Amino acid sequence: MKPSEGGFAAVSVAAWPVINCYVTMESRKEEREYSGIGASPGIAHGPVSILREKEIAIPKYQVEIEHHHAEVARFENALLSTRKQIQKIRDQVEGSLGEEEARIFDAHLMVLEDQALIDEIVREMQAAEENVEASLWRVGTRYIEAFGQIDDEYLRERASDIRDVMRRLISNLTGESLDDGERPDNKHVVVAQEIAPSDSASIDKDHVLALVTDLGGKTGHTVIVARSMNIPAVVGLGNISQSVVPGDIVLVDGYEGKVVVNPSEDTLFRYGKLKDERASIEERLFAFSKKVSETQDGHPIQLQANIESAEESVKAVEIGADGVGLFRTEYLFLNTRSLPTEDEQFEAYRGAAEAMGGRPVVIRTLDLGGDKMSLSPELGMQHEFNPFLGYRAIRYCLDNIDIFTTQLRAILRASVHGNVRIMYPMISGFEELKQANECLEIAKEQLRSEEIAFDESIETGSMIEIPSAAIACDTLVSECSFFSIGSNDLIQYLMAVDRLNDRVAHLYEPTHPAVIRMLDMVVKNAREGNVEVSICGEMAGDPILVPLLIGLGIESLSMSPSLLPHAKFVVQSMELSEARDLAKMALSETDGIKILENLTAFYNSRMESIS
Ligand code: PEP
Ligand code: MG
């Protein structure tokens, strides 16, 4: 919402709470069902507590140019106070939830230290000859809107970091409190448009049964906090916060992303049963994660983890991962105030290598650009009309050799601490792969001359995520020892379907015959060229698709760690010949939907034994 041209503009900011409702159901209300994104698993129901946005006013008035130094001083004081408050919340969260959750607030501190943003606010204030609150809100809104439009889900959600910081700054400037201090004291389901990080940090585990929000995606703060507290959450529900009223009872199904307002006795009974069933399935699936990953007839399948930080590799080991199939290193570059140094990167890579204790760790070089824009001005990312077809990943690295070499040196240094492999993203063909390897040779040469140890026989791999690389993958085998299929991008480029665009989402079809033929072709060429082949896109973690991938000959699948137990169960419940039959069916069938139906039927038949 933008401030009006004069006087005061009402701006909504989230604040606790607000309308507390207790179970006072005098008359039966009509049941309504909503669908969103299941963000944190579990089923819960209880009275609603609506977290309404508190409106605060943004003053707007003229400030003569000679008084601007006083405005700048006010701004600096507000920056300082806000910093202190956020640091305090960070410390509290670290104490109650742990370091990982507390790191959410580092992004807030980064916003406060973002010199480009601060300078823009001061410039705007001087140009418009107005007070700091007005300029601050206008510039902040521009940033929020820009972030809100980025295709990458993770970055889109950073808009809420900026918003949260902006509202604190405004509050510190105007003296208007953001918190009216009330807290519901019964057990309840929180329903809100969006839950700001500093609000989610103050959620009381003992009272909150579930979280439900209008906005947000799978990597939002609501989700991070809900998962770490083990409470169900459903996000992206449109405008549910406007539809519930005090007195409503809300049932939340975090598995399926469903919310039922005022559930009938029948619905409550049905979900009660479902809850028990789910809990026992999960318990049983978890038991499989400790077992060896092989088919019923003893054929080993590598089930590996996709991670974004060294810490996640510890969790991956706990859940029984056979290695790390994809370390998305770009998150090291997104979460810092400046470029990570070689030593900082080395520590992260070494951490993962050591945690995996000899199991393979595939470190993917920087896949920045395109949808993954960076907050670091040093990276020089610019707006592009077709970011997915633009300056990203290996294209960026081959054009920014210093950044690339620093990363390669850090990975090489970490290679003596475990079983490290290097993988290049977005390779389009032989020349690019060759150039990337030439850079690697230069980095190796530098380390040799500095007498720094590294694994001389470190293996390199190419992601196969651009159709040109898939079609000509036979030309790549001489330059690498493994392929990893990036099905997320491969499908998007093959089918010409933006993987993040809801309106064409129905065309994003992993079981489309063209996708299956392309996977088959890559596997055959990899075999012929004697290179290993694995898959690390979302397809790999979909338990319905796991048998198909194995049947096609992909024997190493890398996925989000939480999906591993389910995938392992599916692997253990089938024979290799069954997977091969499914692959044959998929390669001969013309209809992608039919293929999916057949795969689903097979999956359901295996799940019968556990449900
Ligand atoms: C992919 O494209 O499948 C992949 C794993 O890479 P990312 O999702 O990081 O683009
Ligand atoms: Mg990709």
The arithmetic mean of pLDDT across residues 438-453, rounded, is 98
The confidence band for 606, taking pLDDT boundaries of 50, 70 and 90, is very high
Q: What is the mean pLDDT of residues 564-575?
A: 94
Tell me the HSE value of 387 on the side-chain side, using a 13 A CA sphere.
19
Average pLDDT for 68-89:
88
Shortest CA distance to 236 belongs to which of 259, 261, 216? 216
CA distances from 481 to 171, 457, 557 (A): 56, 11, 17
Q: How far is CA 171 from the centre of its chain?
A: 30
Q: How far is the CA of 328 from the centre of ligand 2 (A)?
A: 10
Q: Please tell me the distance from the alpha carbon of residue 436 to that of residue 159, in angstroms, as a whole number.
A: 34
For residue 329, give the ligand nearest its CA. Answer: 1
528 CA distance to ligand 1 centroid (A)?
Answer: 25
Distance of CA 610 to the CA centre of its chain: 29
Q: Which ligand is nearest to the CA of 538?
A: 1
CA angle 403, 409, 414 (to 5 degrees): 130
Tell which atom from ligand 1 comes closest to the C-alpha of 539: 3
Which ligand 1 atom sits closest to the C-alpha of 485?
3
Q: Which of 206, 200, 198 is nearest to 223 (CA)?
A: 200
- How confident is the model at residue 180, as a pLDDT? 54
For residue 388, the CA-to-ligand 2 centroid distance in Å is 10
pLDDT score of 7? 31
Cα-to-chain-centroid distance, residue 232: 18
Q: How far apart are the C-alpha atoms of 290 and 292, rounded to whole Å?
A: 7
Residue in this structure with the two tokens 């760790």, named with its chain if needed: 361
Residue 182, pLDDT > 70, answer no
Lowest mean pLDDT among 136-140, 341-345, 377-381: 377-381
CA atoms within 13 A on the CB side of 306: 20
- Average pLDDT on 164-176 reads 86
Cα 208 to chain centroid distance, Å, stands at: 24
- Side-chain-facing half-sphere of 577: CA atoms under 13 Å: 1
Q: Which two tokens stand for residue 437?
A: 């390897």
Cα of 571 to ligand 1 centre, how many Å?
A: 23
Atom 1, ligand 1: residue with shortest CA distance: 486
Which residues, judged by CB distance below 6 Å to any ligand atom, belong to the binding site of ligand 1?
A: 326, 328, 367, 465, 486-489, 536-537
Q: Which ligand is nearest to the CA of 536?
A: 1
- Averaged pLDDT of the chain: 86
What's the CA-to-centroid distance between 156 and ligand 2, angstroms?
A: 17
Query: What DSSP line would sit under 240-307, residue for residue?
Result: HHHH--TT-EEEEETTTTEEEES--HHHHHHHHHHHHHHHHHHHHHHHHTTS--B-TT--B-EEEEEE
Substitution candidate for ligand 1 out of 153, 308, 367 with most atoms within 8 A of CB: 367
Please say if 439 is a catalytic residue: no
Among candidates 160, 261, 162, which has minimal Cα distance to 210?
261
Q: Which residue has the tokens 């240094």?
A: 413
With a CB cutoff of 8 Å and minimum separation 6, the contacts of 517 are 587
- 108 labelled catalytic: no
Q: What burial letters (b/e) apply to 524-537, b meaning 16+ CB within 10 Å?
A: ebbeebebbbbbbb
Q: Contacts for 402-407 with beta carbons within 8 Å, 24 or more apart?
A: 403/339, 403/366, 403/379, 404/365, 404/366, 404/439, 405/439, 405/442, 405/443, 405/446, 406/341, 406/342, 406/345, 407/329, 407/342, 407/345, 407/365, 407/366
**Ligand 1: which atom is nearest the Cα of residue 328?**
9
Q: How confident is the model at residue 270 (pLDDT cuts 50, 70, 90)?
A: very high
Kindly give the distance from the C-alpha atom of residue 499 to the centroid of ligand 2, in angstroms, as a whole number: 11
**DSSP strand pairing (32-35 vs 43-51):** unpaired
Q: Same topology for domains 3-9+56-174 and 289-607, yes or no?
A: no
Alpha carbons 588 and 552: distance in angstroms, whole number: 13
**Domain chopping of the chain, boundaries:** 3-9+56-174, 14-55+180-275, 289-607
Pocket test for ligand 1, best of 154, 328, 371, 483 (most atoms within 8 A of CB): 328
pLDDT top residue among 338 and 59: 59
Going by CA atoms, what residue is nearest to atom 8 of ligand 1? 488
Judged on CB neighbours under 10 Å (0-12, 13-18, 19+), 383 is exposed
CA of 492, closest atom in ligand 1: 2
Q: Which CATH number fits domain 3-9+56-174: 1.10.274.10, 2.170.130.10, 1.10.20.60, 2.40.50.140?
A: 1.10.274.10
Q: Decide if 504 contacts 455 (C-beta within 8 A).
A: no
Extract the tokens encoding 607.
Answer: 């799940």
What is the residue with the minimal CA distance to atom 9 of ligand 1? 328
Q: Report the range of poorest mean pLDDT among 53-67, 282-296, 349-363.
A: 53-67
Minimum CA distance residue for ligand 1 atom 10: 489
The pLDDT of residue 96 is 64
Task: Output the pLDDT for position 97.
Answer: 66
Mean pLDDT of 68-73: 88
What HEC string does 57-101 produce? EEEECECCHHHHHHHHHHHHHHHHHHHHHHHHHHHHHHHHCCHHH
- Specify the range with the lowest mean pLDDT, choosing from 13-27, 81-95, 255-269, 352-366: 13-27
User: What atom of ligand 1 comes closest to residue 487's alpha carbon?
Assistant: 3
d(CA 88, CA 381): 33
Distance 486 CA to ligand 2 centre (A): 5
Write out pLDDT tens, residues 386-423.
Answer: 888 999 999 999 999 999 999 999 999 999 999 999 99
Tokens representing residue 241 in the block? 């916060």
Predicted local distance difference test score (pLDDT) of residue 223:
63
- What distance, in Å, lies between the first and last C-alpha atoms of the chain? 48
More confident residue, 303 or 242: 303
Are 597 and 341 in contact by the 8 Å Cβ rule? The answer is no
In contact, 88 and 54? CB cutoff 8 Å: no
Can you read off the two tokens belonging to residue 568? 């392992």
Counting atoms of ligand 1 from 1, which one is nearest the CA of 484?
5
For residue 308, the ligand closest to its alpha carbon is 1
Res. 343: pLDDT tops 80: yes
Which residue out of 463, 494, 539 has the highest number of ligand 1 atoms within 8 Å of its CB and is therefore the one to mutate?
Answer: 463
How large a percentage of the chain has pLDDT more than 90?
A: 51
Q: Which two tokens stand for residue 584?
A: 């044959």
For 543-555, b/e burial (b = at least 16 CB within 10 A) is bbbbbbbbbbbbb
* DSSP character at residue 372: B
14-55+180-275 has which CATH code?
3.50.30.10
- Find the mean pLDDT for residues 428-448: 98
Asked if pLDDT for residue 277 goes beyond 70, the answer is: yes
Ligand 1 atom 3, closest CA: 486
Q: Which of 324, 488, 494, 560 to mutate to test the pocket of ligand 1 (most atoms within 8 A of CB)?
A: 488
Q: Confirm if 405 and 439 have CB atoms less than 8 A apart.
A: yes
Contacts of residue 334, defined as CB under 8 A and 6 or more positions apart, other chains included, come to 154, 155, 368, 372, 374, 375, 376
Question: Model's pTM, two decimal places?
Answer: 0.68
CA distances from 79 to 163, 167, 240 (A): 14, 12, 34
Interval between CA 464 and ligand 2 midpoint (Å): 9
* 581 Cα: distance to centroid of ligand 1 (angstroms): 28
Atom of ligand 1 nearest to the CA of 490: 2
Provide the pLDDT for residue 1.
29
Instruction: Please check the confidence at residue 78 and state whether its pLDDT lies above 70.
Output: yes
Higher pLDDT, 487 or 202: 487
Q: Which ligand is nearest to the CA of 371?
A: 1
Residue 345 Cα, ligand 1 centroid: separation in angstroms?
A: 21
Most confident of 46-50, 76-80, 372-376, 548-552: 548-552
Residue with CA closest to ligand 1 atom 4? 486
Across 279-293, 464-478, 481-495, least confident range: 279-293
| Ligand found nearest the CA of 427 | 2
Q: Does CATH place domain 289-607 in 3.20.20.60?
A: yes
How confident is residue 261, by pLDDT bands cut at 50, 70 and 90?
very high
Nearest to 62 by CA among 4, 125, 118, 122: 125
pLDDT band at residue 19, thresholds of 50, 70 and 90? Answer: very low
pLDDT of residue 528: 98
- Testing ligand 1's pocket by substitution, the residue of 372, 487, 536 carrying the most ligand atoms inside 8 A of its CB is 536
Structure tokens at 467: 């159709």
Catalytic residue among 108, 480, 536, 566: 536
- Which protein residue's CA is at the shortest distance from atom 6 of ligand 1? 486
Residue 339's pLDDT band (cuts 50, 70, 90): confident
Point out the ligand 1 atom lying closest to the alpha carbon of residue 306.
5
* The pLDDT of residue 570: 96
Query: What's the pLDDT score for residue 561?
Result: 84
Q: Of 45, 221, 417, 512, which residue is the catalytic one?
A: 221
